[in-house]
Amino acid sequence: MTISNSGAIAGISLGIGGEKDMKQFSSVELESEIQPDSAYGCKETESHEAKTPPAPTYDEESVHKTILVGDSGVGKTSLLVQFDQGKFIPGSFSATVGIGFTNKVVTVDDVKVKLQIWDTAGQERFRSVTHAYYRDAHALLLLYDITSRSSFDNIRAWLTEIHEYAQSDVVIMLLGNKADMSSGRAIRRDEGERLAREYSVPFMETSAMTGVNVELAFTAVAKELKHRAVQHPNEPKFQIHEYIEAQKEKSGCCSSF
């Protein structure tokens, strides 16, 4: 499984040097970067003899809009920087202002899946701006901070907003970030698991600092989106929960949390 970068971070506050204004990335400019809504389009192959229709081919030009949401300070920007650049920038916290995106290409099952990952501002005052972006999102990564009870308690409110503004078939994943901070832990892993079960969404704990599960979170989303795009009615559905559990076991990632 390989991951390659197809674009620079656009307007994302990196957590140093105070607030960074992202007004220059207006929605109009950003929309022009997005490919036509072909994410779920399939190329048809003609076949007159086959009894069952041929499997649709995945269109590698599809762009899947993926949005990071959650309270301010949970680590959305840090998670994206870790995934994009493989690094963690410690230091004083600088809240994201507005919204920006990063393009990433994730190779799954030998096909290239393009993710356009939007980093939103968690602060309340930017909420109306980010709502506008939910509508055409294909996936939402919802983060809380395992050292912050309030960020966990607010997850229900976030899910209510998501259900109100996003498409009903949007892929949602719950992430408990800052899993490296075991001494400050306020939310047990099983609390996260229980909440995720209640809403039937996949869950994992991540650390933007150490990188644990960061790649897995985005890869699982890319796999799910790719499978949905080529889903054959007679084939079993891709099981994102099972995939995540299997990958977690393989990496032995979570035993120390």
Ligand X SMILES: Nc1nc2c(ncn2[C@@H]2O[C@H](COP(=O)(O)OP(=O)(O)OP(=O)(O)O)[C@@H](O)[C@H]2O)c(=O)[nH]1
> What residues make contact with Mg ion under the rule CB under 5 A?
76-77, 96
By the 8 A CB rule, do 197 and 149 touch?
no
175 binding partner (options Mg ion, ligand X, none; Cβ < 5 to 8 Å by kind):
none
The answer to whether 121 contacts ligand X (rule: CB under 6 A) is: yes
209 touches ligand X (CB under 6 A): yes
Strands in 111-120's sheet, in edge-to-edge order, are: 3-5, 99-108, 111-120, 63-70, 139-145, 171-177, 203-205
Q: Is 160 near ligand X (CB under 6 A)?
A: no
Token reading at 88: 């963690």
Residue with tokens 């054959």: 232
Q: Which of residues 64-93 bind ligand X (CB under 6 A)?
A: 72-78, 90, 93
CB closer to ligand X out of 238 and 257: 257
For 58, 92, 212, 242, 253, the CA distances from 246, given in Å and listed in that order, are 24, 36, 15, 6, 11
CB within 8 Å of 106: residues ≥ 6 apart: 1, 3, 112, 113, 115, 218, 219, 222
Q: Which does 209 bind (CB under 5 to 8 A by kind): ligand X, Mg ion, none?
A: ligand X
**94 within 8 A of 18, measured Cβ to Cβ:** yes
- The answer to whether residue 10 forms part of the interface with ligand X (CB under 6 A) is no
Minimum CB separation of residue 13 from Mg ion in Å reads: 6
Question: Closest CB to ligand X among 75 and 202?
Answer: 75
Q: How many residues bind ligand X (CB under 6 A)?
A: 22
Considering the complex, state which of residue 122 and residue 202 has its C-beta at the smaller distance from ligand X.
122
Q: Least distance (Å) from ligand X to the CB of residue 173?
A: 15
Q: Where along the sequence are the contacts to ligand X (CB under 6 A)? A: 15, 72-78, 90, 93, 95-96, 121-123, 177-178, 180-181, 207-209
